[in-house]
Structure 1
Amino acid sequence: MDLLEDDNGSNAHDYTVSEISGAVKRVIEGEFGRVRVRGEVGRVSMPRSGHMYFDLKDDRAVIAAVSWKGQVARMQVRPEEGMEVIATGRMTTFPGQSKYQLIVDEVEPAGAGALMAMLEARRKQLAAEGLFDASRKQPLPWLPEVIGVVTSPSGAVIRDILHRLRDRFPRRVLIWPVAVQGQACAPEVARAIRGFNAMEKGGPIPRPDLIIVARGGGSIEDLWGFNEEEVVRAAAESTIPLISAVGHETDTTLIDYASDRRAPTPTAAAEMAVPVRAELAAWLSEAQTRMMRAARGRIDQRNQRLRDLARGLGRPETLTQPARQRFDMWSERLGPALRTLVLRKNSRFAPLAAQISPNLLRRFIRDRAREIDGFATRLAPAPATRLRRARQEFEQLSKRLDSSRQRMIGEAERRNREGAQRLSALSERLARAPRTRLDALEDQLDRLDRMRQTLGYTETLKRGYAVVRGPDGVVTSEKMAAKQPGLEIEFSDGRLAVIPGGGGTATPPSRAKASKKSDPGPDQGSLF
């Protein structure tokens, strides 16, 4: 046979797997290079590495697509499942899984119709969650102290807003610079809204009373960042009233539905935020004039009413003249009445004064002194009597207490004796318990050992039985014994090695097995 030919008689070259894979890779990359593929986005996954993996499919085929982290960051529109797109990239292969794939660096919607369909589907989804409900809308502050503006710091939008606020009513403005289009737009706008809400009241940076999210006009692709779900959710979660002013009057984005008020233009948003100071001053002046005119008219009306009522009351002299006349009459009668009263009281006091003399008073004082002396005489021995009675009561209590104490001591001694007796009995039982337990365990161990000996096969050997072993273990049948090169029979008093079909003794099977490993010759009889 020719040495260059294989077993099948063919002299074809043997390719390695890597050679075939590399050839396929060169063919695909050289044939297609950079391509634009139109299809529907299927499964989309984005692991923690930042790369994006998705499928492009139509009704008959599927192409795996991948965008690396840097390419994803530069995408204007990110593919979403069910979205029809035109993906631009280059075809290549992935040898690790034997598949071809499209490396995508740019994605664009396949026409405005597909983009609007996706936008409408997202709007319905967010509306179903209640993010656009009117009950969530907050009233705008009438005159905010601080206004936060989320927009690009270099565009004309911020200049229009500041100019309009300066003309109407100058306020403090905080600008949070963001990208207003491109891949960084959505995360930066959402972060700005949440950042304004996270500020503390009374902090080093004042917290806005109102937020304006603004951007100039543009195509639907330029405004797409304000249709992203994270921006809509951030606007709906804002506790600070928010005005959306994205695009021109005809442009509508999803943030307009979630905001508390939509402005057709950024300039209109500034007009919604603050009133006109000149108009407000004129209104205040007019209101002040009307208030002063109303107050003056009210005072004049009250004065006229007072004068009308005063005319109905009559003259004051007419009202007080009867009272003055009654006062004069009673004042004339008061002097004679007082003199008559004094005379009457004197006439009643004179008989009583005649009965009262100094001797009567001295006798009264003397009688009262004797009563006081009697009380003092009776009061002098009272403390000693009270003390003697208290001492007697104390002695009686002391005797009762001594007897009670003796009784309690006796009772305690009796309980101590009984406790000592019980403790002694328990100590004796405790001392006997280990020995009793050990004896019981020894008896149980003896019974188990006797049972082990009875159930063991050595007892069976004593009754005339034997155990036959071969090189591979116990032999239980005549057929197994005939196949063994040597046998070992164990009796109750020893072991005997034999050869099946012959007489005499032989090498034990355990030794025969070891010899068999060391000598691989065909003559097995030499082992015994």
Structure 2
Amino acid sequence: MDTPAPRANIPEFAVSEIAGAIKRTLEESFGRVRVRGEITELKRYPSGHIYLSLKDEAAKLESVIWKTSVGRLAVKPENGIEVIATGRIGTYADRSKYQLVIDRLEFAGEGALLARIEMLRKRLLEEGLFDAGRKRRLPMLPATIGVVTSERGAVIQDIRTTIARRFPRRILLWPVAVQGQGAAEQIAAAIRGFGRLQGAMRPDVIIVARGGGSLEDLMAFNEEIVVRAAAESPIPLISAVGHETDTTLIDFASDRRAPTPTAAAEMAIPARTDLLADLAQTEARLLQLGRALIERARRRLMVAERGLPDLPNILGAMRQRLEDRGERLTLALPGLVQRKRGELGRLAPRLPHPREGIAARRAMLALLQARGRAAWQRIEARGHAAPPLARFSTGPVESLLREKRLRLEGLVARLDSVSFQAVLSRGFALVRDAEGAPITSAASVPPGGRLVLTFADGEAQATADGTKPAPKRRPRDEPTQETLL
């Protein structure tokens, strides 16, 4: 049976004492260390601190990044990436825990970087940021070219030289850091800033460029914030990052990818000489095509012309026929009017004057009145022999006679107003030639022509000595005198 060792040989510690001793031992033994592992269980707190764990196949080390160190990290911590964390071992006595206080992060070799890039590429690919349907055509001849790169170095100089040589355009540089802490944020802000510009300052195309470097140097162009800014840019964007063999995620999101910054400038602007040569070739082709079209049209016209009737002769005959009928019509109408006027002039004297009809009607009326009075006298003389007739009333007969007399006088007045004899009675005369045709124009009277003048009370013979134009009359408001016919 074992016996316990004497108590005097085992030191006794208070809890705080042993915790402090362990703390001092750990911190003094290790100091600053570099630990390789995969980030897991990452948590960001509102205070700005980041808590995470580093693990490998056999163990896990809890770690913390204080707020003051987060902004200085070269690598943004994310779950699943393998990193090398630099810091010191610290203990948390309240919970008897130890942890790594990290103040620096770097990727654990290119393998870790490539794994992280591939993981982000797959996620963005599933979102559709790399779809070919999102790609836009570059403008033919941009007036302003925006460039996102460092203001120092050969990249911007190569771009300026290439554009000046090919076709001078205005270049608008947005200087940014192209690697290191904060580079990704600056690049994304520059792309979005160009998209917000308006007016003459707004570029027609954007070039995002950087020279060659290691995978870690190019990591800013693999960051999600930069890739999303390129995909969401309202302006067509060309990426030219690294050398021809380098590929970054911004290349998948851009509208065009150039192997070098110089190639990006050549892609953005055509060469003036190439444009002039293309223009000359196009002009020559258009002229040749125009001549061919004209020649084919001329041949078709000649073929069609052979099948057409002789239009000039047809038109000439129709025009001659039209002129002949027009001349005949011009001569026929005045002759017809003249003949009708002659007939009217010859018939006019033969027409009985309304006064003659009126006189006959008045004589008839007087005869009827005389007969009526005689009959009435006989009736009165016989009144004593025929009493029934004495009661006969003459009122209706007299009323009827008055009505007929008034109507007859109205007709007489209307006939007098429209009779050409009434016009003659006002001092006018009817002029006719020797054949009896009425004359209405002085120009139609030949010198020495015989004229017959009809007045209200008879006719007179006259000879025309000549004609002269009628004096011009001042316009008057009252109506003109009506003609005889």
Could you tell me the TM-score, scaled by structure 2's length? 0.65
Measured in 2, the distance between the counterparts of 1:132 and 1:110 equals: 28
Please state how far the C-alpha of 1:243 moved relative to its aligned partner: 0.8
AA of the residue aligned to 2:251 = D
AA of the residue aligned to 2:229 = A
AA of the residue aligned to 1:212 = I
Please state how far the C-alpha of 1:223 moved relative to its aligned partner: 0.7
Name the SS of the counterpart of 1:74 in structure 2.
coil
Q: Which residue, out of 210, 218, 225, partners 1:215?
A: 210
Flag the 1:113–1:13 CA change in 2: closer, same or farther, 3 A. Answer: closer
Flag the 1:119–1:361 CA change in 2: closer, same or farther, 3 A. Answer: same
Residues 469-484 of structure 1: matches in 2 within 5 Å?
none
Measured in 1, the distance between the counterparts of 2:255 and 2:299 equals: 53
Aligned to 2:39: 41
Name the SS of the counterpart of 2:339 in structure 1.
helix
Measured in 2, the distance between the counterparts of 1:355 and 1:51 equals: 137
Aligned to 2:259: 264
Measured in 2, the distance between the counterparts of 1:321 and 1:177 equals: 83
Measured in 1, the distance between the counterparts of 2:345 and 2:95 equals: 140
Please state how far the C-alpha of 1:356 moved relative to its aligned partner: 6.8
Measured in 2, the distance between the counterparts of 1:53 and 1:67 equals: 6
Please state how far the C-alpha of 1:348 moved relative to its aligned partner: 4.6
Aligned to 2:414: 364
Residues 18-417 of structure 1: matches in 2 within 5 Å?
18-200=16-198, 202=199, 206-292=201-287, 294-295=289-290, 318-319=313-314, 322-323=317-318, 326=321, 330=325, 331=327, 335=331, 338-348=334-344, 350-351=346-347, 354=351, 363-364=413-414
Flag the 1:14–1:357 CA change in 2: closer, same or farther, 3 A. Answer: farther
Measured in 1, the distance between the counterparts of 2:301 and 2:135 equals: 53
Name the SS of the counterpart of 2:111 in structure 1.
helix
Measured in 2, the distance between the counterparts of 1:257 and 1:246 equals: 12
AA of the residue aligned to 2:75 = V
Please state how far the C-alpha of 1:357 moved relative to its aligned partner: 6.3
Q: How many residues are matched?
A: 357
Please state how far the C-alpha of 1:365 moved relative to its aligned partner: 8.3
The gaps in structure 1 that reach 5 residues or longer are: 1-8, 369-528
Measured in 1, the distance between the counterparts of 2:68 and 2:257 equals: 35
Name the SS of the counterpart of 1:232 in structure 2.
helix
The gaps in structure 2 that reach 5 residues or longer are: 1-6, 359-409, 419-485
Identity %: 52
AA of the residue aligned to 1:176 = W
Please state how far the C-alpha of 1:115 moved relative to its aligned partner: 2.1
AA of the residue aligned to 2:196 = A
Residues 400-479 of structure 1: matches in 2 within 5 Å?
none
Give yes or no for contact 2:354–2:416 (8 Å, CA) kept in 1.
no
**1:111-142, Cα deviation, whole Å (9 max, x unpaired):** 32232122111111110111111111111111
Could you tell me the TM-score, scaled by structure 1's length? 0.60
Flag the 1:355–1:269 CA change in 2: closer, same or farther, 3 A. Answer: farther
Flag the 1:367–1:98 CA change in 2: closer, same or farther, 3 A. Answer: farther
Measured in 1, the distance between the counterparts of 2:312 and 2:155 equals: 82
Aligned to 2:466: none
Measured in 1, the distance between the counterparts of 2:416 and 2:323 equals: 56
**1:281-318, Cα deviation, whole Å (9 max, x unpaired):** 23223433444455466556666776777787788874
Moved over 6 A (4+): 9-14, 303-317, 356-362, 365-368
Deviates more, 1:9-18 or 1:291-300: 9-18
Flag the 1:316–1:187 CA change in 2: closer, same or farther, 3 A. Answer: closer
Name the SS of the counterpart of 1:112 in structure 2.
helix
Give yes or no for contact 1:132–1:257 (8 Å, CA) kept in 2.
yes
Measured in 1, the distance between the counterparts of 2:108 and 2:90 equals: 23
Deviates more, 1:342-351 or 1:97-106: 342-351
Measured in 2, the distance between the counterparts of 1:186 and 1:17 equals: 48
Measured in 1, the distance between the counterparts of 2:245 and 2:353 equals: 121
Flag the 1:281–1:14 CA change in 2: closer, same or farther, 3 A. Answer: same
AA of the residue aligned to 2:147 = V
**1:496-520, Cα deviation, whole Å (9 max, x unpaired):** xxxxxxxxxxxxxxxxxxxxxxxxx
Relative contact order, higher structure (CA 8 A, sep 6+): 2
Measured in 1, the distance between the counterparts of 2:75 and 2:273 equals: 46
AA of the residue aligned to 2:274 = E
Name the SS of the counterpart of 1:182 in structure 2.
coil
